[in-house]
């Protein structure tokens, strides 16, 4: 990376500026310099002062000196950093054997049965992949094959992944990563964007209808609407949930399918459900999932209605070497074990409610906080210049993030202007962690908000 931020990276929130390298402690400077020499393009570090961790437990990360950082940002280690149950399952499998899906693997069948039991009966087929991007890539391939269409509708600042196909419907990647000509953008479900006198449900439905019309006018039949059920990169919009049924009706009437991207919202993140889509009272045609699925071991999945995936399966060969092999399946099964044994969903519901209530309390009077949004352990705090114009204040959001990091509490930001604090701890976050977070946030808010 050059001495100053390049344009694509500058648009990303909470990024370390390489121009500030010489201000860092010696060891950190040296490692970052070596890193810049050898890593390929696009890598970036978080925080004004980056940090290196050597171990973790629950929602805590520890640096070389043994300093305890509260992790309020990572959704991958969902049941907690280095959860002993996952460590044991993966170690045992690693020491035994790792085979792929071209051999009979009873553990894979057991896992598929268990995972599918958490879905409505209509969603009954599972394919495995290695990342959220791969899952969305496969989902869209199947959607196009099934519908014969090409058109895709996504929210205005969505992120769905990095493959060359998925990047074409991930507008948050910015100008350097062009969208496909068959992609149309709609607003995220922000009730403030509905015209006066119009409901959010009407606004969302009209936008989808308009996008379909525009696609057809340009010769594209609709293949799919894909939404992140937490609208994470759009700025976190979990509620209300009463607009999706009408939207999905429009999509199906045009011959398209609805893909629910659960990479962020899945595995009980939102507390009141295992999957984000169930909160909306719809049954998608395809559901994708990833990040928390293996607690850090790369594994992702796509769940289909069989009538959507059958033809594809008959006509297209899909073999993904590592996907569904014994080690990631052992990790994924251990995650399900912990979710059940520790009653994680209930914990998320309770601690999430405490966390959000505490943040609301601390920011109620602030002229710089427009909204506190979210559900479960996914909270967004929208930072603005003032409550009248709602002009986003990225600088203030970054100051808050940086002050929290200096006090060893890790959060970051999201949204088109990166002015929404993104507070998203591992689901291992317990009530003592909530207290520590709120105490630290109170100190920072006193100065900055």
Ligand X SMILES: Cc1ncc(COP(=O)(O)O)c(C=O)c1O
- Cα distances (Å, whole numbers) of residue 268 to 58, 289, 330: 16, 12, 19
- Minimum distance from residue 38 beta carbon to ligand X (Å): 22
Size of the site for ligand X (CB under 6 A): 15
Q: Verify binding: residue 150, ligand X, rule CB under 6 A.
A: no
Residue of 74, 101, 127, 131 that binds ligand X (CB under 6 A) = 131
Q: CA–CA separation, 402 vs 408, rounded Å? A: 10
Q: Verify binding: residue 161, ligand X, rule CB under 6 A.
A: yes
Q: Verify binding: residue 351, ligand X, rule CB under 6 A.
A: no
What residues pair up with 257 in beta bridges, in sequence order?
224
Q: Verify binding: residue 266, ligand X, rule CB under 6 A.
A: no
- Minimum distance from residue 95 beta carbon to ligand X (Å): 27
Q: Which of 181, 154, 177 shows the shortest CA–CA distance to 167?
A: 177
Nearer to ligand X, 132 or 392 (CB): 132
Residue of 83, 144, 160, 184 that binds ligand X (CB under 6 A) = 160
Q: Strand 257-261 to strand 125-129: parallel, antiparallel, or no bridges (unpaired)?
A: unpaired
| Burial of 355 from C-beta contacts in 10 A (0-12 / 13-18 / 19+) | buried
**Residue in this structure with the two tokens 């006198």, named with its chain if needed:** 197
Q: Verify binding: residue 422, ligand X, rule CB under 6 A.
A: no
441: tokens are 């946030």
Give the full edge-to-edge strand order of the sheet including 55-57: 55-57, 60-62, 68-71, 409-410
Range in contact with ligand X (rule: CB under 6 A) among 103-111, 112-120, 153-161, 352-360: 153-161
What residues pair up with 69 in beta bridges, in sequence order?
61
131: tokens are 């990342």
Residue of 290, 294, 358, 392 that binds ligand X (CB under 6 A) = 290
Q: CA–CA separation, 70 vs 443, rounded Å? A: 15
Q: Verify binding: residue 228, ligand X, rule CB under 6 A.
A: yes
Nearer to ligand X, 274 or 362 (CB): 274
Q: Verify binding: residue 168, ligand X, rule CB under 6 A.
A: no
- Minimum distance from residue 299 beta carbon to ligand X (Å): 10
- Minimum distance from residue 166 beta carbon to ligand X (Å): 8
Residue of 150, 261, 382, 403 that binds ligand X (CB under 6 A) = 261
Burial 366-393 (b: 16+ CB within 10 A, else e): eebbbbbbbbbbbbbbbbbbeeeeeebb
Q: Which of 401, 409, 400, 410 shows the shortest CA–CA distance to 366?
A: 400
Nearer to ligand X, 136 or 273 (CB): 136
Range in contact with ligand X (rule: CB under 6 A) among 115-123, 160-168, 188-196, 372-380: 160-168
Q: Verify binding: residue 237, ligand X, rule CB under 6 A.
A: no
Residue of 14, 74, 101, 133 that binds ligand X (CB under 6 A) = 133
Binding site for ligand X (CB under 6 A): 131-133, 136, 159-162, 228, 232, 261, 263-264, 290-291
């Amino acid at each position: 990376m050059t001495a100053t931020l390049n344009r694509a990276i500058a648009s990303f929130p909470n990024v370390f500026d390489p121009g500030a390298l010489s201000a860092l402690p010696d060891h950190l400077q040296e490692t970052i310099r070596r890193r810049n020499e050898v890593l390929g393009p696009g890598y970036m570090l978080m925080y004004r002062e980056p940090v290196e961790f050597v171990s973790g437990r629950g929602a805590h990360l520890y640096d070389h000196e043994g300093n305890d950082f509260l992790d309020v940002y990572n959704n991958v280690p969902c049941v907690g950093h280095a959860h002993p149950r996952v460590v044991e399952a993966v170690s045992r499998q690693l020491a035994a054997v790792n085979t792929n899906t071209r051999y009979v693997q009873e553990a894979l069948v057991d896992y598929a049965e268990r995972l599918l039991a958490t879905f409505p009966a209509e969603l009954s087929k599972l394919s495995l992949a290695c990342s959220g991007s791969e899952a969305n890539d496969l989902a869209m391939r199947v959607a196009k094959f099934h519908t014969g269409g090409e058109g895709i509708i996504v929210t205005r600042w969505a992120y769905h992944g990095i493959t060359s196909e998925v990047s074409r419907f991930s507008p948050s990647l910015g100008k350097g990563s062009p969208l496909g000509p068959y992609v149309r953008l709609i607003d995220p479900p922000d009730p403030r964007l509905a015209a006066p006198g119009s409901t959010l449900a009407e606004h969302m439905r009209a936008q989808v209808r308009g996008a379909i019309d525009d696609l057809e006018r340009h010769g594209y039949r609709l293949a799919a609407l894909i939404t992140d059920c937490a609208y994470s990169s759009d700025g976190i919009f979990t509620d209300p949930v009463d607009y999706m049924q009408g939207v999905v009706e429009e999509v199906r009437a045009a011959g398209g399918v609805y893909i629910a991207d659960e990479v962020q919202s899945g595995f009980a993140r939102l507390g009141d459900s295992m999957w984000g889509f169930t909160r909306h009272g719809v049954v998608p045609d395809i559901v994708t999932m990833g990040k928390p699925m293996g607690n850090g071991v790369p594994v992702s999945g796509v769940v289909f209605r069989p009538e959507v995936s059958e033809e594809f399966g008959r006509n297209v060969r899909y073999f993904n070497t590592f996907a569904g092999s014994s080690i990631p399946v052992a990790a994924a099964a251990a995650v399900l074990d912990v979710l059940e044994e520790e009653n994680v969903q209930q914990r998320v519901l309770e601690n999430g409610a405490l966390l959000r209530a505490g943040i609301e309390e601390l920011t109620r009077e602030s002229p710089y906080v427009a909204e506190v949004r979210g559900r479960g352990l996914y909270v967004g705090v929208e930072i603005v210049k003032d409550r009248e114009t709602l002009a986003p204040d990225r600088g203030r959001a970054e100051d808050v993030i940086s002050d929290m990091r200096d006090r060893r509490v890790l959060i970051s930001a999201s949204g088109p202007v990166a002015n929404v604090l993104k507070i998203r701890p591992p689901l291992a976050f317990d009530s003592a962690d909530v207290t520590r977070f709120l105490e630290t946030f109170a100190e920072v808010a006193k100065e900055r908000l």
